[in-house]
Structure 1
Amino acid sequence: MTSSAAPTRDAIVATAHESIARGSKSFAAASLLFDRATRERAWLLYAWCRACDDIADGQDHGHTMSVVEDAPQRIAAMATLTDAALDGHVIGLPAFDALRIVAAETSLPARYAHDLIQGFRLDAEEWRPRTEDDLLTYCYHVAGVVGCMMAVIMGVAPDDEAVLDRACDLGLAFQLANIARDIEEDAAAGRCYLPTDWLDELGISPDAVMANRAKLALLARRLTDRAAQFEASARMGTRALSLRSAWAVLAAAEIYGAIGRKVAARGEHAWDARVTTSKWDKLLFIMRARGHARRRAELMESARSAELWRRPGR
């Protein structure tokens, strides 16, 4: 933390834009659909989330830079910087000053930042889920809470728990699809996010999950089916958003939903090559989402959002 004069907001926004363009083409594309103020705040939030992820894993936008035996110390330093930023102090690091700005402009609840940092702690501790509820709790800490923060940035009141639940659902859907896609990649890194209860049902060893792809495909399908349920629930919440914000959210849902659907469709071949969406696919999903956003009240009028899972603090 420094006591130097704060960089200008425009400079921090420009740096945040560079970060999202480099770190996530899907989120960068979806963010362009927001109005300018929301778009810039989304970039600012992304920059802080990305920086925290990189600090925890010793990376630079997903590229390994160092050994991470000191992950607990990294995360403790991250939490200290985050607290200072939330208190309005100039940090001198663009990503944490980005958090300072977006928190001040939106009254972002500090508990959400701390909930996300808890997710990094779980990974640093090489934590593994035993039950589906454990898995969803993890997904909340690394993605669902980001959905809550994004909702606040889009103008949802911090105490509107019903809409925040739907925003959380979208983060859960994203993370479940990612876990299904990345099972082999995670296994190579010594990680497994499949509940041990699920593995035990099929006789799969947590330390050899890739040994039987046919059985593994069944669990991947279970993940993507749950992701689809959370995605459908999340779409209900777009009725509370402006047209442009709803468009962006629904576009992101289409893009990430496609990942889960491709994993499910490939079955035991889901990990032969990394599942991605092409630029053409993204454009198609964005255009489809525009129509859905315009007709969201009509499309969702008769649908009911069942409570699929209760997030921490509710």
Structure 2
Amino acid sequence: MKRHQLVEESRRAIAEGSKSFSAASRLFDRTTRERVWMLYAWCRRCDDLADAQDKGGDLGDQSGIAHAVSHLRVMTKAALEGRQTADPAFAAFAQVAAECRLTMDHANDVITGFQLDADDWRPRTEADLMRYCWHVAGAVGVMMALVMGVKRDDDFTLDRACDLGLAFQLANIARDLVEDDAAGRCYLPMEWLVEEDIEPGQHTKPHHRQELADMAARLVDLMEHHADASRIGAARLPFRSRWAILSAARIYTAIGREVRRKGTAAWDHRVYTSKAQKIGHVTAAFFEAVRNRPPHLERMPKWTRGDFAGL
């Protein structure tokens, strides 16, 4: 496919797969926007294939996940080597990889997150939780930063991009605790469950709803810290990229905050941001980007990509 066709396929993928990120992505300059779309299309396709779902919908049959993850590696490697895959999402990744010097190592950092799910992995500690968040989202944040033109040796900015990915995933985990449990997954550290005196596999039962809300709040507190750190990195980006990133940060962290605010009622209905709320976040992000005064943190987050990259 021609580049413009890959861009259009990718635009449709992000419009259908993530209304929140689709809205934020339109704030980038044209070249960056197209590259972000192509990277997103690959991430979305990998997620859908691994989870047997359609554009981020309900999780499907997980019995074939190990084969699906192996397929992702083979298809991604083939695309990067210039071979035909008959899948526009992998061709789009090859295109953006060629333009921004993304590598199979970058892709493997992300695919390893799907491998953890395939291995029926469970986090024992907070470090394990953050390792998972690194693979499925922090590593994507680093690739997004490279797509936006951040230099490969700018470790500080890449660390802050990782922080934003970690924040996004922590918000997602908090929102989806009950949904994930129904699919046989739990991303809450076992140490947290022990501290709350919760029996294995019982954390979403009605009699533990307060404890679940407390652990969700703990996730959101971590989210807040990483999101604040990411704003320091965003201050180094060109204006339009800074605006887009701050918009995405506001939209996603609002989900986490709403989960925390709703407490035990957080999982009665899926938490989301409305179109009007998205517009409000984008508007607020514009003024934040203009001021460009990131928060001063007395301490940076405990966990960052240096703890997990290359593992």
The TM-score, its normalising length taken from structure 1, stands at: 0.94
- Residue 86 of structure 2 is aligned to residue 119 of structure 1: no
Per-residue deviation, residues 251-270 of structure 1 (Å, max 9, x unmatched)? 00000110111111111111
In structure 2, C-alpha distance between the alignment counterparts of 1:66 and 1:196, rounded to whole Å: 25
Contact 1:176-1:223 within 8 A present in 2 as well? yes
Per-residue deviation, residues 193-226 of structure 1 (Å, max 9, x unmatched)? 1000000001112301122111111111100000
Range that drifts further, 55-64 or 36-45: 55-64
Range that drifts further, 32-41 or 186-195: 186-195
In structure 2, C-alpha distance between the alignment counterparts of 1:104 and 1:38, rounded to whole Å: 14
SS at match of 2:199: coil
- Residue 68 of structure 2 is aligned to residue 94 of structure 1: no
SS at match of 2:235: helix
Identity %: 50
Equivalent in the alignment of 2:31:
37
Match of 2:76 among 79, 82, 97: 82
Per-residue deviation, residues 96-133 of structure 1 (Å, max 9, x unmatched)? 10001000001123322101000001111111100000
Structure 1 position 272, deviation (Å):
1.2
Equivalent in the alignment of 1:276:
272
- Residue 88 of structure 2 is aligned to residue 70 of structure 1: no
Structure 1 position 190, deviation (Å):
1.3
Match of 1:106 among 97, 100, 107: 100
In structure 2, C-alpha distance between the alignment counterparts of 1:85 and 1:207, rounded to whole Å: 40
Structure 1 position 161, deviation (Å):
1.3
Equivalent in the alignment of 1:193:
187
How is 1:1-314 mapped onto 2 (pairs within 5 angstroms)? 7-63=1-57, 67-211=61-205, 212-296=208-292, 299-300=293-294, 302-303=296-297, 306-311=300-305, 312-313=308-309
In structure 2, C-alpha distance between the alignment counterparts of 1:224 and 1:66, rounded to whole Å: 27
Contact 2:228-2:295 within 8 A present in 1 as well? no
Per-residue deviation, residues 164-183 of structure 1 (Å, max 9, x unmatched)? 11000001001111111111
Structure 1 position 308, deviation (Å):
2.4
* Structure 1 portions without partners, runs of 5+: 1-6
Range that drifts further, 109-118 or 283-292: 109-118
Range that drifts further, 71-80 or 143-152: 71-80
Range that drifts further, 285-294 or 205-214: 205-214
Contact 1:41-1:153 within 8 A present in 2 as well? yes
Task: Decide whether aligned partners of structure 1 residues 198 and 302 sit closer, same or farther in structure 2, where only a CA change above 3 A counts.
Answer: closer
Task: Decide whether aligned partners of structure 1 residues 66 and 310 sit closer, same or farther in structure 2, where only a CA change above 3 A counts.
Answer: closer
Equivalent in the alignment of 1:4:
none
Structure 1 position 66, deviation (Å):
5.9
SS at match of 1:308: coil
In structure 1, C-alpha distance between the alignment counterparts of 2:113 and 2:276, rounded to whole Å: 33
Which ranges of 4 or more aligned residues in structure 1 deviate by more than 3 Å?
63-68, 301-305
Task: Decide whether aligned partners of structure 1 residues 262 and 170 sit closer, same or farther in structure 2, where only a CA change above 3 A counts.
Answer: same
Equivalent in the alignment of 1:3:
none
In structure 1, C-alpha distance between the alignment counterparts of 2:62 and 2:15, rounded to whole Å: 26
Structure 1 position 286, deviation (Å):
0.1
One-letter amino acid matched to 1:99? F
Contact 1:230-1:308 within 8 A present in 2 as well? no
One-letter amino acid matched to 1:263? V
In structure 2, C-alpha distance between the alignment counterparts of 1:20 and 1:62, rounded to whole Å: 10
In structure 2, C-alpha distance between the alignment counterparts of 1:228 and 1:59, rounded to whole Å: 29
SS at match of 1:209: coil
One-letter amino acid matched to 2:302? L
One-letter amino acid matched to 2:66? P
One-letter amino acid matched to 1:170? L
Structure 1 position 158, deviation (Å):
1.9
